[in-house]
Structure 1
Amino acid sequence: MNPLNRSTHPAPALPERVLQFGTGVLLRGLPDFFIQKANEQGLFNGSVVVVKSTGGATDDFSAQDGLYTLVTRGIQRGEAVDESGVISVISRVISAQENWQDVLQAARNPQLQIVISNTTEVGIQYVEESIFQHPPKSYPAKLTAFLYERFKNFGGSKHKGMVVIPTELITDNGLKLRDIVERLAKHNELGKLFMKWLKFHVRFCNSLVDRIVPGAPDEAIRHELEEKLGYQDNLMIVAEPYRLWAIEGDERVQEMLSFAGADEGVIVEEDITFYRERKLRILNGSHTLSAPLGYLLGNVTVQDNSDHPLMSRFIEEAVLQEIVPTIPGLPDDPSAVRTFAEEVLDRFRNPYIEHFLLNITLQETSKMRARNLPTFQRFIDQTGQLPQRMTLGFAAYLLFMKAVRVEDGVFMGEATTEKGVITYPIRDDYADYFFKLWQQTTPTDEASVRQFVATVCGDTTLWEADLSQWAGFTEAVADHLHNLLSLGVEATLERQMVTA
């Protein structure tokens, strides 16, 4: 079987207009996909030069001339999606370790306009270092060196400024990256003129990405797909149908990002707070709310939750009846919140993605505080009532945090499911806190359980609020927790769904 390359799949040679830091699957499955689509529609007509910062090997990309297959599989608007296409936007991949001069040479390209990155959340951190190393160690230092080279080469021309769009999953990623670059410029004494050019002619945009891109399919599925496609592809990746890239920018940014017009999944607006809030409350919040309950039922993945009749209904009703009403819509699109929620429920049902519930429970306490407590508060303020399904989800989280022992420094929980007794790690900064509280609690004593709940809900250090002030909340959580302990998880969930 012939390998995928430009001899078997010719692609037009387009000018390099985008510099991409990172070869990861998210960038290849989202921004590069959008650029590919825009090129096919004649809206962008540019290619992407990629900088590989970690390690030196670029052999797979060289062997395939930068081509790779993006397989899109999942559920969209209730219909199954199974598509594939060749992405041809990558012109070349440069190893920062081995060919740093080539990166600096790219800075001298007058047609280059955009920088995108995904170096993980750890990548956007200030490291005090010289940008004149070959290469600098941190991503922000590499970017600063690149921008300084461009500034010098074009004499600080305002027409050779750039748009920089980090996609790392941190709030205000663009503003944080700009701050680090400015600090590095000062540390390296790059001069006032460069600082002025940075300020006025390099636009750092906050952005939000939302697409699950698991990456390479397992070997058996890859071979099956290769037989169907008729070529070998060592860079093949799989993604879900849903896609969103929200970018904060003005009219100048919109003009430079002409690829945005190719797909409704790219949004360029001056304020993307709505999209970030919508994702945090609905997608992330429902994950955090449902993962402990589903896992204690014996489910392993998000799809298992969707396949479980009671759990599926619990999630759908919590999302549509308790979370969605607390999120203000867009003035010109009042249905945007519910539409997104329905898309999220479709994404949960995707049979091609293994999203493990145990992974979702990582740092569950902090996630519960950030993602769901504001929703509780808004629902109570709006209705004067408690969100009943979310309250059960909170009680299940408290049970999930019940460690029975410590193994090699890891707190271990235990649950009895239809599949038998399971043990699981509690990977949470507050695991010790809950371990000590549960040790002081008698699970079979209802009064002891109620005292445990009262202590947790009233801990303002833990929640940055006093949850016991929500009328009836402590009592309702205690009722649920007592039922979970005495009746079992499935019986408690069934009772809740009958009375809901």
Structure 2
Amino acid sequence: MTIRLSADTLGAISRTVPVPDYDRKGLSAGIVHFGIGNFHRAHQAVYLDALFATGKDHDWAILGAGVMPGDAAMKAALEGQDWLTTVVDQSAEKSEARVTGPMIGMLPVADSGAIIEKLADPAIRIVSLTVTEGGYFVDASGQFDPSQRAIIEDGKAPDSPKTVFGLIAAGLKRRKAEGTPAFTVMSCDNIPHNGAVARDAVAGVARLWDKEFGDWIAREVAFPNGMVDRITPATGTRERESLKADFGIEDAWPVFCEDFRQWVLEDNFPAGRPALETVGVQFVPDVTPFEIMKIRILNGGHAVIAYPAGLLDIHFVHEAMEHPLISAFLEKIEREEIIPVVPPVPDTDLDWYFGEIKRRFANPKIGDTVRRLCLDGSNRQPKFIVTTIADRLKAGADVTGLALESALWCRYCFGETETGKIIEPNDPNWDNLVPIARHAKEQPHVWLDQEAVYGDLANNEAFRTSFSHALNALWADGVEAVLRRYLSGEL
């Protein structure tokens, strides 16, 4: 027999798993969060739940907000269970569930008036967001791009913007007019200097209305940078049924995640903040070293294993780590090419960090998919791989392994695995990538001419040569044979 999750059933559920032991009726909202998907509820919400359990900061509860069609489905699911979420932490050895409750409501989806009204509320002191790496309206160089259609539309409608950034700007505009101090904007997305990127987007929209106002946002509003980390797969039937079978809980949208989590934040919150340092958040003056470490070693490592696994029809990430050639490829490229160009990180041993990453990747409980890791390479490769290639080339160092990773991505974008299985579209630019990848089968350098991905690296003869050699070898001999040659030093 299962118990459906709700405030009324917490007593019964508490006999099986921990539930909030604080008075949720005594919570009040201090944070509006855009994007209440799995990662937010496995990360920021978990930290706040732990903080509330200490009896502190109950005026920092979360109000959800959303502008995308999928947000309405999430709102309906969570509202039906009183904004509670079951979070299942999974290590290779065990699974542990708990019910979290720091969210107390959600604003009407895509209702500009209601959202702006709440953003103007003096009680809201932080506006946070998780809108994915590709959701910041940036161009190929990483700069805010005001020419995108949604931003142009916001520029014409300052009183009823539709994007997250337009809404945040409108909320700040209202507060400024009413003499209310600005809230802090806290990005929780996995992008370098996410606070600065969010600032450019919010100020960029505002400048379309009033340049002086946009400049005021850039100058006066706090946008702390942060590094976030927790592997959190999508929720599907597998996860819902597992929760019922293992814990007897029926949750419309549970979150399954690994047992590791990390959050490093710059301590720049003029309007105040919850005491998250008491529950494991690390506050630092500069998050940059932690960002570089995570993006290059973890996210870059994901890319390294993703494309050979995808081409070999491997479904789960832990299965990729069980493949001896793929796990050895990860080990060699990390040790020899990636980690050597990662700057020192305060109080962190990079060998320990990489060891943790291997443990996390190999966790069979997560059910993370290779296809998810292969997703959106056109946006992820420039951030996770190309920056490392550029640093190594500047130092005159070898890029054989990283060139092979790029060639594997190109081969994946051809759209067929080695067995001839069709790879369904897996990138917002898939329709452009496939013809380029097919042209590159005969002329490899064509792939590197994608300026949005590689910038001026296409003109580096050493990289062009290594890439072309690797791609030709993949087409001639196949993934496993080329990995063996790389591992033996013969590529």
The two structures share one fold, judged by TM-score above 0.5: yes
Q: Please, what TM-score do these two structures have when normalized by structure 2?
A: 0.77
Q: How far apart, in 2, do the equivalents of 1:115 and 1:173 lie?
A: 14
The equivalent of 1:432 in structure 2 is 435
**Which residue of 121, 125, 131 corresponds with 1:113?**
125
Give yes or no for the alignment of 1:70 onto 2:73: no
Q: Please, what TM-score do these two structures have when normalized by structure 1?
A: 0.76
Relative to structure 1, is the Cα distance of residues 303 and 128 closer, same or farther in structure 2, using a 3 angstrom cutoff?
same
Relative to structure 1, is the Cα distance of residues 20 and 414 closer, same or farther in structure 2, using a 3 angstrom cutoff?
closer
SS of equivalent to 2:275: helix
Question: Mean alpha-carbon deviation: is it higher for 19-28 or for 194-203?
Answer: 194-203
Please tell me whether the aligned partners of residues 30 and 126 of structure 2 are also in contact (alpha carbons under 8 angstroms).
Answer: yes
Give yes or no for the alignment of 1:207 onto 2:230: no
**Which residue of 64, 84, 88 corresponds with 1:50?**
64
Give yes or no for the alignment of 1:85 onto 2:120: no
- Cα distance per residue 1:224-251 (max 9 Å; x no partner): 423543443223211222323333344x
**Which residue of 455, 458, 464 corresponds with 2:456?**
464
> Which structure has the bigger radius of gyration?
1
Mapping of residues 374-385 of structure 1, within 5 Å: 374-376=387-389, 378-379=391-392
Q: How far apart, in 2, do the equivalents of 1:37 and 1:68 lie?
A: 14
Q: How far apart, in 2, do the equivalents of 1:180 and 1:397 lie?
A: 29
Q: How far apart, in 2, do the equivalents of 1:37 and 1:333 lie?
A: 24
Identity %: 23
Relative to structure 1, is the Cα distance of residues 378 and 62 closer, same or farther in structure 2, using a 3 angstrom cutoff?
closer
Which amino acid in the other structure matches residue 236 of structure 1?
A: P
Relative to structure 1, is the Cα distance of residues 60 and 486 closer, same or farther in structure 2, using a 3 angstrom cutoff?
closer
Give yes or no for the alignment of 1:164 onto 2:185: yes
The equivalent of 1:258 in structure 2 is 274
SS of equivalent to 2:165: helix
Relative to structure 1, is the Cα distance of residues 259 and 386 closer, same or farther in structure 2, using a 3 angstrom cutoff?
same
Please tell me whether the aligned partners of residues 156 and 197 of structure 1 are also in contact (alpha carbons under 8 angstroms).
Answer: no
SS of equivalent to 2:421: strand
**Which residue of 164, 167, 172 corresponds with 1:139?**
164
Which amino acid in the other structure matches residue 247 of structure 2?
A: L
Please tell me whether the aligned partners of residues 72 and 241 of structure 1 are also in contact (alpha carbons under 8 angstroms).
Answer: yes
- Cα distance per residue 1:407-426 (max 9 Å; x no partner): xxxxx43524xxxx434357
Relative to structure 1, is the Cα distance of residues 348 and 49 closer, same or farther in structure 2, using a 3 angstrom cutoff?
same
Please tell me whether the aligned partners of residues 38 and 261 of structure 1 are also in contact (alpha carbons under 8 angstroms).
Answer: no
Q: How far apart, in 2, do the equivalents of 1:236 and 1:100 lie?
A: 30
Give the Å deviation of 1:387. 5.2
Which amino acid in the other structure matches residue 489 of structure 1?
A: V
Give the Å deviation of 1:217. 4.3
**CA RMSD, 1 decimal:** 3.7
Mapping of residues 392-471 of structure 1, within 5 Å: 392-397=404-409, 399-400=411-412, 403=414, 412-413=415-416, 415-416=418-419, 421-424=420-423, 427=430, 429-438=432-441, 441=442, 452=443, 455=445, 464-465=456-457, 469-470=461-462
Give the Å deviation of 1:381. 6.3
- Cα distance per residue 1:51-108 (max 9 Å; x no partner): 2434556443333221111111135xxxx35211111111122214569447615633
Give yes or no for the alignment of 1:247 onto 2:279: no
SS of equivalent to 2:64: strand
The equivalent of 2:196 in structure 1 is 175
Relative to structure 1, is the Cα distance of residues 302 and 226 closer, same or farther in structure 2, using a 3 angstrom cutoff?
closer
Q: How far apart, in 2, do the equivalents of 1:316 and 1:460 lie?
A: 28
Consecutive unaligned residues in structure 2, runs of 5 or more: 11-20, 138-149
Please tell me whether the aligned partners of residues 317 and 361 of structure 2 are also in contact (alpha carbons under 8 angstroms).
Answer: yes
Relative to structure 1, is the Cα distance of residues 24 and 485 closer, same or farther in structure 2, using a 3 angstrom cutoff?
closer
More strand by share: 1
Please tell me whether the aligned partners of residues 127 and 183 of structure 2 are also in contact (alpha carbons under 8 angstroms).
Answer: yes
SS of equivalent to 1:122: coil
Consecutive unaligned residues in structure 1, runs of 5 or more: 404-411, 442-451
SS of equivalent to 2:222: strand
Please tell me whether the aligned partners of residues 313 and 417 of structure 2 are also in contact (alpha carbons under 8 angstroms).
Answer: no
Please tell me whether the aligned partners of residues 118 and 166 of structure 1 are also in contact (alpha carbons under 8 angstroms).
Answer: yes
Give the Å deviation of 1:494. 3.3
Please tell me whether the aligned partners of residues 11 and 88 of structure 1 are also in contact (alpha carbons under 8 angstroms).
Answer: no
Give the Å deviation of 1:118. 2.3
Mapping of residues 333-372 of structure 1, within 5 Å: 333=347, 335=349, 337-362=350-375, 364=377, 367-368=380-381, 370-372=383-385
Please tell me whether the aligned partners of residues 129 and 184 of structure 1 are also in contact (alpha carbons under 8 angstroms).
Answer: no
Which amino acid in the other structure matches residue 324 of structure 2?
A: P
Give the Å deviation of 1:303. 2.0
Q: How far apart, in 2, do the equivalents of 1:60 and 1:261 lie?
A: 31
Relative to structure 1, is the Cα distance of residues 197 and 370 closer, same or farther in structure 2, using a 3 angstrom cutoff?
closer
- State the aligned residue count: 452
- Cα distance per residue 1:138-158 (max 9 Å; x no partner): 222322333334344xx525x
